[in-house]
């Protein structure tokens, strides 16, 4: 790719990101995503790994989630791979405040609490390489289950703490991610950008990511990225800016 073409491509990517990412608001949150993964290639087709991740929110001040779990990826075709993974999610669920009809007086307050969920993912990723630019589309079916549990809830009407049952439920989400990666010759950093949609019956989340990856001797891979997560109108969660740092050890 000629130098001028590279510049054009970078410019196009930047314009695309700028167009897709909505204007951030002062009410937006900010957090961190840290991940570490170990993976082993058993054959040309089969790779297995184990990943741990930590997230924060509330402008980096509050732990949001810890997750860990194994994954298995199988390359079906040179351009198509399938993966299955499980994640144990330990969430710091945000507080929930409800108000009386006047919209001012408190009705109930459920403080934040730590809870456990189980997540299963099945993914298919198709990719195509244009020279040094690889475009991939990943379709992921995500099923998350939580068990019923009882937590504290303060009822302002009754003026007392009460047991509140959080019912167990399973949730299916279709995640569609379009990603562009660029392998720049003689450059130690490979930039990438993606947009991902989380869909149930409605669009629940949209994630915009731009970042770079750096690999050392095909064994150590570092990733740094910025992620903006836009939540759907049906969610109480704020939109969030996230800084991500990831490390992968391949053996």
Cβ nearer to another protein, comparing 5 with 59:
59
**Kind of pairing, strands 220-231 and 203-216?**
antiparallel
Question: Per CB under 8 A, does 249 bind another protein?
Answer: no
Q: Which of 38, 48, 63, 210 binds another protein (CB under 8 A)?
A: 63
Beta partners for residue 40, in sequence order: 48
Cβ nearer to another protein, comparing 61 with 167:
61
Q: Which of 120, 154, 197, 226 binds another protein (CB under 8 A)?
A: 154
Min CB(54)–another protein separation in Å: 6
Question: Per CB under 8 A, does 89 bind another protein?
Answer: no
Question: Per CB under 8 A, does 61 bind another protein?
Answer: yes
Min CB(27)–another protein separation in Å: 14
Interaction pattern, residues 101-140, with another protein; x per rule: CB under 8 A: ----xx--x-xx----------------------------
Q: CA dihedral defined by 240, 191, 51, 49, rounded to 10 degrees? A: 150
Query: Which of 202, 177, 206, 186 has the alpha carbon at shortest distance from 83?
Result: 177
Piece of 2-10, 11-19, 151-159, 202-210 that binds another protein (CB under 8 A): 151-159
Q: Site for another protein (CB under 8 A): how many residues?
A: 31
Beta partners for residue 195, in sequence order: 178, 208
Query: Which of 186, 184, 192 has the alpha carbon at shortest distance from 222?
Result: 192
Burial 199-214 (b: 16+ CB within 10 A, else e): eeeeebbbbbbbbbbe
Cβ nearer to another protein, comparing 23 with 163:
163
> Would you say 135 and 180 are in contact if contact means Cβ atoms under 8 Å apart?
yes
Interaction pattern, residues 203-242, with another protein; x per rule: CB under 8 A: -----------x-x-----x-x------------------
Cβ nearer to another protein, comparing 58 with 127:
58
Angle at 124 between CA 123 and CA 127, to 5 degrees: 135
Query: Chain-centre distance of CA 229, in angstroms?
Result: 8
Min CB(109)–another protein separation in Å: 6
Contact footprint for another protein (CB under 8 A): 32, 34, 54, 56-58, 60-64, 94-95, 97, 105-106, 109, 111-112, 154, 156-160, 188, 214, 216, 222, 224, 245
């Amino acid at each position: 790719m000629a130098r001028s073409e590279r510049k054009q491509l970078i410019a196009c990517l930047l314009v695309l990101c700028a167009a897709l990412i909505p204007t951030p608001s002062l009410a937006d949150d900010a957090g961190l995503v840290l991940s570490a993964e170990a993976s082993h290639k058993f054959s040309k087709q089969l790779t297995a790994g184990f990943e741990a991740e930590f997230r924060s929110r509330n402008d980096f001040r509050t732990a949001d989630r810890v997750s860990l779990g194994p994954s298995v990826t199988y390359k079906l075709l040179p351009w198509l791979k399938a993966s299955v993974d499980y994640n144990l999610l330990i969430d710091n669920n945000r507080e929930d405040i409800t108000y009386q009809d006047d919209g001012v007086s408190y009705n109930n307050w459920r403080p934040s609490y730590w809870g456990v969920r189980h997540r299963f993912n099945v993914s298919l990723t198709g990719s195509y390489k244009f020279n040094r630019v690889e475009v991939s589309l990943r379709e992921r079916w995500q099923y998350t289950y939580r068990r019923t549990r009882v937590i504290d809830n303060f009822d302002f009407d009754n003026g007392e703490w009460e047991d509140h049952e959080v019912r167990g439920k399973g949730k299916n989400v279709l995640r569609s991610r379009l990603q562009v990666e660029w392998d720049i010759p003689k450059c130690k950093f490979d930039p990438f950008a993606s947009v991902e949609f989380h869909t149930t019956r409605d669009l629940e989340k949209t994630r915009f990511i731009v970042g770079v990856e750096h690999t050392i001797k095909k064994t150590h891979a570092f990733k740094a990225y910025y992620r903006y997560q836009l939540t759907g109108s049906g969610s109480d969660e704020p939109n969030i800016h996230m800084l991500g740092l990831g490390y992968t050890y391949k053996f």
